[in-house]
Amino acid sequence: MAKYIFVTGGVVSSLGKGIASASIGLLLKARGLRVTLMKLDPYINVDPGTMSPYQHGEVYVTEDGAETDLDLGHYERFTGQTMTKANNVTAGRIYFSVIEKERRGDYLGGTVQVVPHVTDEIKRAMREVAKRDEVDVVIIEVGGTVGDIEGLPFLEAIRQLRNELGRNNALNIHLTLVPYIRAADELKTKPTQHSVGKLREIGIQADVLLCRTERPFSDTVRGKIAQFCNVEPDAVIQALDVRDVYEVPLMLRGQGLDDTVLRMLDLSCPPDDLAEWRADVVGRALHPARSVRIAVVGKYIQLQDAYKSIYEALRHGGLAHDAEVVIKRVDSELLSQQDPHEVLHDVQGVLIPGGFGHRGIKGKLEAIRYARQRQLPFLGICLGMQCAVIEFARNVCGLEGANSTEFDPATPHPVVSLLAEQRGVTAMGATMRLGASRCRLREGTKARACYGTSEIHERHRHRYEVNNHYREQFTRAGLVVSGTYEPGDLVELIELTDHPWFIASQFHPEFKSRPGVPHPLFHGFVGACLAQQPGGAPRRARSAAGRSEANATRARNPKRRPAATRGGSRRRAATGVDAKRAAKGVDARRAATRRAGVSPPKDGGHPGGTRVT
């Protein structure tokens, strides 16, 4: 029978329950246990698929096509386990299921209530995930904060399930806050006491406390928390701020959290094996040999979580090259009002992420044009690929007004349009092309070289596709369709023949990237960006003694932060005005030669053979 760990949060939101749960999963997996994780979200939406990134952050798509909470991305990245629809359950989905059963008459005419019917449905979902995955331990994160009214049915369900399973088969871990009050120069335990007290009112006794704190606390403070919260002193764990999120498992391991959990669950396991994580992930993240600067051009860049998997995948690509990826967030709406050169002159690569709607499209097209003409490495994802096709159609093929029917239904050149089966769809939730699909890679392409195989499976989340009516024209102009979805002959990957590294995908490669195993496209993209500056801007090396001295200084004064060593060479280019004039000249000449039926030279210049930059 599987054991269960319930992770709840108190005092405030955004303490990092997802990271904590994923870290516990990694620790237990390193001890030889089979682990899976589950997220319970109290909101009424059936899934987050129709929610704005400003409301919810990114929507994480699983292999089986579920639109889920971004915490499932943490689960997959930390543990390497593949999550499915069963690993994320919302209040909306639970209520939807209960109402469907009531309509079918499954409750035999009884009065349907939160207890027992809603709580039974929640427990059924929690038990089902253990049976399906055949695991030793299920880690279940309860979204929200203790005291939220919408979370009460979930807390009641885990209270009941723990009683049904027995004490050594389940435990409660509560993530809380021990704030530092600067004026008093003190750490305060009262918020934690109140949060644990609130849990006890519901009937749940915390077994382990993860205390988020800026500063280490003494054994006296630990003893006080243990006494007033009715937990063992060894079960009071300091969840200290760390330099890198991938340090969290090591920080928790250093305080014996995994040993405490195993003892409470009556499990006997061999010692952990975290050497690879420590060296190849944390070691490289903290002490990279070089750095590279990459622009992410999107319309949700103000919110860190909107492109969470993109940022992490870029970091994974950097780890593989022993490099720090410095991400420059560029607002695509603002870029449309600026000279692209002024914004992008100091980056070694450009990435356009996915999205929906026309807002910010002009800025994305400008960024793509800049990367194409300046021979700057480019990676487009989902909408980023569609924008790359639109930009190529307009400025290289000379198709004036080319657009996606998503932005302009009356465009004279619908180079991106809805699939036939999507045209009659009116419902918004879970009606897109979702989940993993097979893609066949073309021999001799950069994409094939990145993957090293002829067939791949990647995750999708979109309604619109490249219009195949224009494929032949694009191919003549130098755009290569390097990957296709064979059943519908749909465009999955494109690249340019006259560019050192210009690749865009209709799918979302970021969802399959891991810290120790970066996605091939991100590995290749970061490598191409590093090639833009010889040596990749080496960081100043520090000895072990120097690092120890810096860490000691930081411990004495937590306000002080080590200075960032972002230095490195910068790409040199012409002034913004000159660059724009030259770029327009290249595009105008290319369009004119193709209308006249003349193929442009492979070096990207005009028929006279002179390269224009």
pTM for this predicted structure: 0.85
pLDDT in the model for residue 420 = 67
Q: Given the DSSP bridges, would you call strands 170-177 and 402-404 parallel, antiparallel or unpaired?
A: unpaired
Query: How far is Cα 5 from Cα 15, in angstroms, rounded to an integer?
Result: 18
pLDDT in the model for residue 561 = 38
Domain 288-422+435-534 adopts which CATH fold?
A: Rossmann fold (3.40.50)
pLDDT in the model for residue 553 = 37
pLDDT in tens, 499-518: 999 999 999 999 999 999 99
Q: Is the pLDDT of residue 593 over 60?
A: no
Q: Is the pLDDT of residue 205 over 60?
A: yes
Assign 167 a pLDDT band (cuts: 50, 70, 90).
confident
Q: Which residues belong to the active site?
A: 382, 508, 510
Assign 108 a pLDDT band (cuts: 50, 70, 90).
confident
How far are the Cα atoms of 89, 464, 469, 554 from residue 549, in angstroms, in the given order? 47, 55, 64, 9
Assign 133 a pLDDT band (cuts: 50, 70, 90).
confident
pLDDT in the model for residue 567 = 37
Instruction: Assess contact for 210 and 22: CB atoms under 8 A.
Output: no
Q: Which residues pair with 123 in a beta bridge?
A: none
pLDDT in the model for residue 552 = 37
pLDDT in the model for residue 605 = 35
Which amino acid, 508?
A: H
Q: Quick one: how far is CA 558 from the chain centroid?
A: 29
Q: Is the pLDDT of residue 560 over 80?
A: no
Assign 323 a pLDDT band (cuts: 50, 70, 90).
very high
- What's the DSSP call for residue 338? S
pLDDT in the model for residue 487 = 79
Query: How far is Cα 606 from Cα 613, in angstroms, rounded to an integer?
Result: 11
Burial class (CB in 10 A: 0-12, 13-18, 19+), 450: buried
pLDDT in the model for residue 69 = 94
pLDDT in the model for residue 452 = 96
Mean pLDDT value across residues 124-138: 93
pLDDT in the model for residue 332 = 95
Q: Would you call 289 helix, strand, or coil by DSSP?
A: coil
pLDDT in the model for residue 422 = 60
Query: How far is Cα 583 from Cα 372, in angstroms, rounded to an integer?
Result: 10
Overall residue count recorded for the chain in this entry? 613
Structure tokens at 275: 């050497």
- Three-point CA angle 324, 329, 334, nearest 5°: 160
Q: Which residues pair with 404 in a beta bridge?
A: 416
The Cβ-side half-sphere exposure at 12, using a 13 Å CA radius, reads: 9
Q: Is the pLDDT of residue 484 over 80?
A: yes
Structure tokens at 354: 């996915």
Assign 429 a pLDDT band (cuts: 50, 70, 90).
low
Q: Establish whether the linkage from the previous residue to 116 is cis, with ω within 30° of 0.
A: yes
Q: Is the pLDDT of residue 176 over 70?
A: yes
Q: Is the pLDDT of residue 46 over 60?
A: yes
Do 288-422+435-534 and 3-279 have the same topology in CATH? yes
pLDDT in the model for residue 340 = 95
pLDDT in the model for residue 296 = 98
Mean pLDDT value across residues 404-426: 84
Q: Is the pLDDT of residue 194 over 60?
A: yes
Domain ranges of the chain: 3-279, 288-422+435-534
* Lowest-confidence segment of 125-129, 218-222, 424-428, 590-594 by average pLDDT: 590-594
Give the H/E segment covering residue 100.
Answer: helix 91-104
pLDDT mean across residues, the chain: 87
Percentage of the chain exceeding pLDDT 90: 78
Instruction: Assess contact for 119 and 17: CB atoms under 8 A.
Output: no
Instruction: Assess contact for 459 and 436: CB atoms under 8 A.
Output: yes
- Pick from 41, 46, 34: nearest CA to 17: 41
| List of residues 6+ apart from 503 with CB closer than 8 A | 378, 379, 380, 446, 447, 450, 482, 493, 494, 495, 521, 524, 525
- Pick from 193, 96, 79, 184: nearest CA to 138: 79
CATH number at 3-279: 3.40.50.300
Q: Would you call 25 helix, strand, or coil by DSSP?
A: helix
Q: Would you call 82 helix, strand, or coil by DSSP?
A: coil
Query: How far is Cα 353 from Cα 357, in angstroms, rounded to an integer?
Result: 13
Q: Given the DSSP bridges, would you call strands 60-61 and 67-68 parallel, antiparallel or unpaired?
A: antiparallel
Instruction: Assess contact for 93 and 128: CB atoms under 8 A.
Output: no
pLDDT in tens, 213-223: 999 999 999 99
Task: Give the residue, 61 or 595, on which the prediction is more confident.
Answer: 61
Mean pLDDT value across residues 360-365: 96
Q: Is the pLDDT of residue 562 over 50?
A: no
pLDDT in tens, 223-235: 999 999 999 999 9
pLDDT in the model for residue 600 = 38
* Lowest-confidence segment of 51-55, 86-90, 249-253, 521-525 by average pLDDT: 51-55
pLDDT in the model for residue 609 = 32
Assign 356 a pLDDT band (cuts: 50, 70, 90).
confident
Mean pLDDT value across residues 479-497: 92
pLDDT in the model for residue 428 = 62
Three-state secondary structure readout of 555-601: HHCCCCCCCCCCCCCCCCCCCHHHHHHHHHHHHHHHHHHHHCCCCCC
Which amino acid, 348?
A: Q
Assign 419 a pLDDT band (cuts: 50, 70, 90).
confident
pLDDT in the model for residue 533 = 80
Instruction: Assess contact for 438 and 493: CB atoms under 8 A.
Output: no
pLDDT in tens, 89-98: 999 999 999 9
pLDDT in the model for residue 53 = 83
